[in-house]
Amino acid sequence: MRGARVTILCEPEATAASLLAPFLGDDVRIVVSLRAATRALAADPAERLVVIGSGVRAENALEFAAHVSRSAAGTDIVLMRDTVDSDLLSRAFDAGIQTVLPTHERHALAEACTRLAASRRPAAAPPQPGPTAAPNGVIVAVVAAKGGCGKTTFAINLALALNAGGEVRVCLVDLDLEFGDVASSLRLDVERTLLDAVPGRALTRADIAALVTTYHPGLDCILAPVGPGEAERVTPAVAREALNALAQLYDYIVVDTPARMSHHVLAALDTADHHVLITVPEVPAVKSLRRTLDVLDLLGYRRESRSIVVNRTDPRVVLTARNVETLARSPIAGHIPFSWDVPASINHAAPLVTAEPDHPVSKAIRAFARARIGTGAAATRRPGVPRRSVRGWSR
């Protein structure tokens, strides 16, 4: 449990407050205004957790948080909103808010409060791995800030490039649970999906075998569910458990994520060793990339584990590589040339990396894989650099 401190819940709507309060432990003080929350903080210095409900206007909540961060250092603030986007996340974290959660994620609220309480206690020494600890495979999360950038096609070809013709064990995970295209792109029958994972426990080798669909020697896939409403039944915790289990069985795990921030994307980003961000040389896409980079920085992800790839580069396009770097304010790690052969390969379910290994697109993807991810046996995760483990939209 969270511990002894009292939680202040600021929610003017009585019904909403009654729904949130049971997830905040036994000691909850409900107030109906931020002014009352300020008085409660001043009256009892032990009260160092404030949950602001969606009934409070966002601007007022941000102003309150900025004031508290200056006057009551050490106070944790959780903001609940009906909708969460990257702009709100950026402004919330700038104001000093630790966690932003969708209103309906009440179980995630309980977990966030538990985590924040634990962070106030002295940290225990991390366990030292024994001499027989198995090395982890490298998890690569492929992300696009905007749809239509060719993310799934890149993820598929990257997985095949890392597979090196079957010499290296790779698993491609379709985490775009609502609109995943890995199965259709590779013409795989969807007989088992991530929905078949057993929640609440570490997955065994037998569990993983029951989840994967083999595409190519040494290359397995975990497909996204296809039935109506099935995506909502796959929790972020299940996704995280599956990725951790896969890291014990494969050299590389390539995760194709949806083109929007969600708890499932955060689970993949938390678990991954490397983030590959895909964009195209178009101003809206690069501006979306810049906003995503800002959010990743605010969430504390390491920049050295990040690579930006510009897809569909074309010398006839006015936006040059230097323009993209200037707009993104970040270096570009890879350029994939534009080619009409790419959509043709998608329509024929024949990824270029294997169908045409000498194609310029294939060469560019393999070069990126060698330079930024590695080939051959996967590198062991560096000691002392743990994966982030965060539940919810948190700093």
Angle at 354 between CA 349 and CA 357, to 5 degrees: 130
Residues in the chain: 395
Q: What is the pLDDT of residue 117?
A: 67
Amino acid at the residue 133: A
Report the C-alpha gap between 45 and 74 in whole angstroms. 10
Lowest mean pLDDT among 202-206, 281-285, 291-295: 202-206
Architecture of the domain spanning 7-119: 3-Layer(aba) Sandwich (3.40)
Looking at every residue in the chain, the average pLDDT score rounds to 82
**What is the per-residue pLDDT across 359-388, written as a single tens digit (0 to 9) for each?**
999 999 999 999 888 753 344 343 333 344
Q: 7-119 and 138-378: same fold? A: yes
CATH of range 138-378; options 3.40.50.10420, 3.40.50.300, 1.10.3720.10, 3.30.360.10: 3.40.50.300
Q: Can you give the residue ranges of every domain in the chain?
A: 7-119, 138-378
* Of 197 and 276, more confident: 276
**What is the per-residue pLDDT across 98-132, written as a single tens digit (0 to 9) for each?**
778 888 888 878 877 776 665 554 433 333 333 33
Q: Read off the pTM.
A: 0.64
**What is the per-residue pLDDT across 249-275, written as a single tens digit (0 to 9) for each?**
999 999 999 888 888 888 899 999 999
